[in-house]
Amino acid sequence: MSYLPCGTYFESYADDHKWWRTSFIQGKMIFMLVVLAILPYVVDSQWLSVAYTINYYILAGLGVQLLIGYCGQITLGHAAFVAVGGYTCAMMLLLVPWPQFMVDGGLAYPVTIVCAGLLAGAWSVLFGLPSARVKGFYLIMTTMAAQWITVPLVITQYVAQIGGRGQAFAIPPDMIKIGPWVIDTDTKIYYFSVVLVGICLLAMGNMVRSKLGRAWIAIRDNDIAAETMGVNIVVYKLIAFWVAGFFAGVAGAFYLSALFFVSPEHYEWFFSLLWVGIILIGGVGSIQGLVFGAAFVVIVFKLLEIAVMSASSALMAINPELGWMTTKFIFFKEASFGLAIILFLIYEPNGLSYRYWQLKNYFNLWPFSYTGK
């Protein structure tokens, strides 16, 4: 019997912890993969760019979700580690004398992605070291220091000046390729982002279900109790910072394929706050919540952009002298993001993932319920 009044029963621990535990869930995942595969053929390039921007936010937000949601380490400077990944990838592509066989074989860019993750992870550990001594507000200040030291100082004043390039590093499109596959169109960028997100989500999901993840959750819930039970909280915190930095570095390296250049303006402090807001909206401590939050924020921003542009055009058509008012509309997106966070904290503090969980349980248990009503 597939469905019982109190849900689905499993006869072994392995069955209970499978990724896709029932045939219905397997069917949903197959359907999702089909949708992801055909998406470039049913939407225009405008919405395709929205899709891979969502994937970029998922990659960048994975580290934030790991630190805040699973390990209880507050971070407000995660854009710094994404910046390290982006600049590492760009500088390696431009300055390293790659052997010709690696250039022709499309191996240079994949190698730089791994190196970007490794260096960003090491940089993250450097600023994670104070977590051995401080927590809460003091750790927040430490991660904010990572933002201000990395982007305005190290990258803008020193790294971005290498080679006399000013601040931006432009990448020739033919260098962004994997094997013979040159990533030079929105469709290719989208498929590349889907593969990267899939790999990183699987890695994250397996880590949080392992001994490593259980240690992180124990530290989040009560670090004193975790240490009493034998968890080396310093080591596990630093591992969390390294893994979070690695994901951030991969995100920075990926976004290079969408822009073909890198500049400090892409890593302002707003993005660190944005990724924290995404996990608050989607659900803290939930991988699904990260996906829901990223999709919600990017799509709402896009719809607001379309609405603002339409309002601006309408005002200009009515009276060109009202053009000054259109400049005031550009701040609506940021204001709406702040308003969304406030509303979610008040009315849906557990995020979209909790609402999805309730909806899923309703259909799985219908017409029965735990309350008997």
For residues 57 and 356, give the distance between their C-alpha atoms in angstroms, rounded to a whole number: 20
341 domain residue, yes or no: yes
Report the pLDDT value the prediction gives residue 6, as an integer from 0 to 100. Answer: 54
Give the tens place of pLDDT for each residue, 96-147: 888 888 888 888 999 999 999 999 999 999 998 888 788 878 888 888 999 9
Kindly state the tokens that stand for 358: 């309730």
pLDDT exceeds cutoff 60 at 4: no
The reply to whether 16 falls in a domain is no
Q: 260, 89 in Cβ contact below 8 A?
A: no
33 assigned to some structural domain: no
Task: Please report which confidence band the pLDDT of residue 70 belongs to, taking 50, 70 and 90 as the band edges.
Answer: very high
> What ranges make up the beta strands (E) of the chain?
169-170, 177-178, 181-182, 261-262
How many domains does the chain divide into?
1
Residue of higher predicted confidence among 12 and 205: 205
Compute the mean pLDDT over every residue in the chain, rounded to the nearest whole number.
Answer: 85
* CATH code where residue 247 lies: 1.10.3470
Interatomic CA distance for residues 56 and 49, integer angstroms: 10
Q: In this structure, is residue 275 part of a structural domain?
A: yes
**66-75, 171-180, 247-256: least confidently modelled range:** 171-180
Is 23 part of a structural domain of the chain?
no
Bigger pLDDT: 295 vs 168 = 295
Query: Domain range for residue 271?
Result: 42-365
| Inter-residue contact 215 to 229 (CB < 8 Å) | no
How do residues 277-328 score in pLDDT, each as one tens digit? 999 999 998 999 999 999 999 998 888 888 777 777 776 777 766 655 666 6
6 falls within a domain: no
The conformational region for residue 70 under phi > 0 = left, psi -120 to 50 = alpha, else beta, is: alpha
- pTM of this prediction exceeds 0.75: yes
Task: Tell whether 31 is covered by a domain.
Answer: no
Start-end of H helices in 9-106: 13-16, 23-38, 45-64, 79-95, 100-104
Is 229 inside a domain boundary?
yes
